[in-house]
Amino acid sequence: MPGTTKHRIETADDGVVTLSLSGRMDLERFGELTPLISTIFDSYTPSSLNVDMAGIDYIDSSGALFIVKLEDEAHARSVPFTLSGLSREKMGILSLIDREALAKPSLAPRERRLNLIEQLGNASIIAVRDMYDIVSFGGELIYEIGHSVTHLRKVRWGDVVTYMKKVGVDGLPIVGLISFLLGLIMAFMSSLQLKQFGANVYVASLVAVAMVRELGPIMTAIIVAGRSGSAFAAEIGTMRVNEEVDALATMGFSPMRFLSIPKVIASLVTVPVLTIFASIFAIMGGLIVGVVGLNLTIFTYIQQTMKAISIFDIVSGLVKSFVFAAAISAVGCQRGFRVRGGAEAVGNATTSAVVTSIFLIIVIDSTFAIILHYIH
Amino acid sequence: MEKGNRTTADPVIKVEGLTVRYGDNTVLDGVDFEVYPGEIFVIMGGSGCGKSTLLKHVIGIETPAEGKIWINGTDTALLDDSELRRLHMGIGMLFQSSALFGSMTIGENVALPLTEFTALPMKDIDSLVRMKLGMVELAGYDNHYPSELSGGMKKRAGIARAMALEPAMLFLDEPSAGLDPVTSAELDLLIRKLNEGTGTTMVIVTHELETIFNISHRIIMLDRDAKGIIAEGDPRVLRTNSQDARVTDFFNRRVTKKKHEGMTT
């Protein structure tokens, strides 16, 4: 913007200081003007101060703030202050400045940072409350599932199919691709070691056992948690923010039955199926390494795979994925229902759904490892 | 403020032949109007008539299908990104939802444009923030978070932030939306006080009749079917003197015959 603030300071013999301002007094000039206050009072020590603003073309509220601060400083030092040359139109801006507001302390003190013990305590309280929420939600969910089993016609089967598509069909490409690459990498890395012992054929066993018993269910569950668990939380969370959940309740629906049951049923059905696909794709990845890199025939590879895995492995893997599905869908819904406030809370719920699901997947998997060890 | 003075001054905003289309759907067709310095100019009309769309085009968030917009005599279509950003710095905007940053305190919200776009020391920024908050009657609320404020306070804080860089123009999108009548009237008074004190040109989008009659100097009324302006001028004159039934119906809150018949049959 053109123009600057020009100032001239004149002193008379009796100590009267006149500050003449001209040009523009705006935000860009504010930084140049404020040091003038201390200059005038410290260097000139006026007996009285006149401010002549006849030459001012433009003044905004920051310019007005300067004048008010100058006047306040004059009052504080008991120096008589006069202001002249400002048109009535431009005086208006001075009336906007609320002097009390400038000195008013904050009504809310800055938040004190909590010390380590307080933070630990807070985190513990949150964790316990969270656990309580999940357990009570789980109980309610089991009750509702029981109700749905006895009232099959009341289940929203249309929604179940929609969610089966969303979780299963739409998730298959990414689950398939990741598992395929996982099988490929596993076979490649293990082949480097096994080759040294001439145990090429055991690459097939290694891939098959690892995928069917452990990695298939876990990888699928983690992908589903990221894709669908988060989507469940976001969907229900958004409905909470928009008061749609309250609308359901006032219309006499059970929001839990209406919103959670289709998602949980769809997950329980599709996650085990996805897990089977994941194992098949991984075995295919391993097969490619076996055939191309280890000179195995397709037949030998498949035969070795079949020999390595038992029905027990397959069933235990599927049972595990079934439990994962229940955990993911329940946590997703619970985090969604817990949303209070606005859009930000929905984002937090989504993140929390994924993190909690993955944590639970690992806990459940460890539990299964111990149980299966004793069963088998 | 005299209308005679305003018409002799150069317009700060000039819109000519503005046409807005979304796909095949024409929302606004050949809209022309001018806004003069220092006035409170209201863009009004019923729901879905394109008020907010018009505002978004004027401030340059969206590009029109046809037509030209001049702000302070500059054709906004000719500006590159950095010039447009500089233009935006001279414009304040209050959004319908206030759009305060939830992770920052009110003070930090107001200080943000000052810390980003000026080289002022923190001490000066702090006193400017206090002044701005005082101007919108929120003195002392600098350490509060937006979530701790009521709707009316959020709007006032939004105005303080919009005015942080001393803009020559302030755009307000439905300032009284979601506010009770008293809070809404308080906000109207504040807008008028700021307009009179700072001389800032205010462009307000609203359908609130109280706001229109209390504070506007001049209005344009948009209509959904006409896809453009059906009335322009002083609302107090238009209310009684307009020959257009759509205009007088709106001002007098009358249900138009067509709609009424539609409802009863």
Give the pLDDT confidence of A302-313 residue by residue, as tens digits.
Answer: 999 999 999 999
State the DSSP string of A155-218. S-HHHHHHHHIIIIITTHHHHHHHHHHHHHHHHHHHHHHHGGGT-TTHHHHHHHHIIIIIIHHH
Predicted pLDDT of residue B6? 44
B126: closest CA of chain A, how far (Å): 9
User: Of B131, B141, B153, B201, which to mutate for an interface test with A (greatest number of A Cβ within 10 Å)?
Assistant: B131
Taking CB atoms and an 8 Å limit, are B135 and A61 in contact across chains? yes
The rounded distance, in Å, linking the Cα atoms of B82 and B203 is 24
User: Of B133, B166, B169, which to mutate for an interface test with A (greatest number of A Cβ within 10 Å)?
Assistant: B166
pLDDT at A1 over 90: no
Taking CB atoms and an 8 Å limit, are A108 and B130 in contact across chains? no
Nearest CB to A65; choose among B131, B165, B198: B131
Tell me if residue A252 falls in helix, strand or coil. Answer: coil
Taking CB atoms and an 8 Å limit, are B140 and A106 in contact across chains? yes
Mean pLDDT score of chain A, rounded to an integer?
90
Residue A102 with chain B: CB contacts under 8 Å: 127, 130-131, 134
Taking CB atoms and an 8 Å limit, are A98 and B140 in contact across chains? no
Predicted pLDDT of residue B2? 35
Residue A100 touches partner B, C-beta closer than 8 Å = yes
List pLDDT tens digits, range A135-180: 999 999 999 999 999 988 888 899 999 999 999 999 999 999 999 9
The rounded distance, in Å, linking the Cα atoms of B117 and B123 is 16
- pTM, two decimals, is 0.76
Taking CB atoms and an 8 Å limit, are B165 and A27 in contact across chains? yes
Predicted pLDDT of residue B258? 57
Taking CB atoms and an 8 Å limit, are A98 and B143 in contact across chains? no
Nearest CB to B124; choose among A28, A31, A110: A31
Q: State mean pLDDT over A221-243.
A: 95
Name residue, tokens 């603030």: A5
Residue A170 touches partner B, C-beta closer than 8 Å = no
Q: What percent of chain A has pLDDT over 70?
A: 99
The rounded distance, in Å, linking the Cα atoms of A279 and A260 is 28
pLDDT at A273 over 90: yes
Q: State mean pLDDT over A266-288.
A: 95
Tell me if residue A12 falls in helix, strand or coil. Answer: coil
Between chain A and chain B, the number of residue pairs with CB atoms below 8 A apart is: 90
Are the CB atoms for A40 and A46 separated by under 8 Å? yes
Going by C-alpha positions, the residue among A92, A267, A97, A283 that lies closest to residue A182 is A283
User: Of A69, A96, A110, which to mutate for an interface test with B (greatest number of B Cβ within 10 Å)?
Assistant: A96
Of the candidate CATH numbers 3.30.750.24, 3.30.70.3340, 3.40.30.10, 3.40.462.10, the domain formed by A5-103 belongs to 3.30.750.24
Predicted pLDDT of residue B4? 36
Name residue, tokens 């709707």: B151
Predicted pLDDT of residue A32? 87
Position with higher pLDDT, A198 vs A74:
A74
Residue A1 touches partner B, C-beta closer than 8 Å = no
Going by C-alpha positions, the residue among A188, A174, A179 that lies closest to residue A224 is A174
Position with higher pLDDT, A206 vs B261:
A206
Burial of A54 (0-12, 13-18, 19+ CB in 10 A): exposed
What is the DSSP pairing of strand A81-84 with strand B40-45?
unpaired
The rounded distance, in Å, linking the Cα atoms of B77 and A316 is 66
Query: Which H/E stretch holds residue B22?
Result: strand B13-22
Q: Dig out the tokens for A103 from the structure.
A: 């000195």
Q: What DSSP character marks residue B43?
A: E
Are the CB atoms for B106 and B138 separated by under 8 Å? yes
Band of residue A10 on the pLDDT scale cut at 50, 70, 90: confident
Residue A102 touches partner B, C-beta closer than 8 Å = yes
Q: What Rg, from alpha-carbon coordinates, does chain A have?
A: 36
A98: closest CA of chain B, how far (Å): 5
Query: Under the phi-then-psi rule, with left for phi > 0, alpha for psi from -120 to 50, and beta for the rest, what region is A252?
Result: left
Going by C-alpha positions, the residue among A316, A217, A211, A223 that lies closest to residue A272 is A217
Query: Under the phi-then-psi rule, with left for phi > 0, alpha for psi from -120 to 50, and beta for the rest, what region is A77?
Result: alpha
Band of residue A99 on the pLDDT scale cut at 50, 70, 90: confident
The rounded distance, in Å, linking the Cα atoms of A324 and A229 is 11
Taking CB atoms and an 8 Å limit, are A93 and B148 in contact across chains? no
- Maximum Cα–Cα distance across chain B: 68
Taking CB atoms and an 8 Å limit, are B193 and A96 in contact across chains? yes
- So where are chain A's domains? 5-103, 117-375
User: Of B124, B137, B148, which to mutate for an interface test with A (greatest number of A Cβ within 10 Å)?
Assistant: B124
Q: A216-224 and A172-194 helices cross at what angle (nearest 10)?
A: 150
- This model of the complex carries an ipTM of 0.82
Helices (H), A39-113: 61-76, 88-96, 99-103
Predicted pLDDT of residue B259? 52
Residues of chain B with pLDDT below 70 are 1-8, 256-265
Nearest CB to B198; choose among A96, A105, A344: A96
The backbone torsions φ and ψ at residue A114, rounded to the nearest 5 degrees and listed phi first, read -75, 145
Are the CB atoms for B19 and B29 separated by under 8 Å? yes
Predicted pLDDT of residue A3? 57
Q: Dig out the tokens for A135 from the structure.
A: 């357990």
Residue A344 with chain B: CB contacts under 8 Å: 102
Helices (H), chain B: 3-8, 51-58, 81-89, 106-117, 122-135, 151-162, 181-198, 209-215, 235-241, 245-251, 257-264
A110: closest CA of chain B, how far (Å): 6
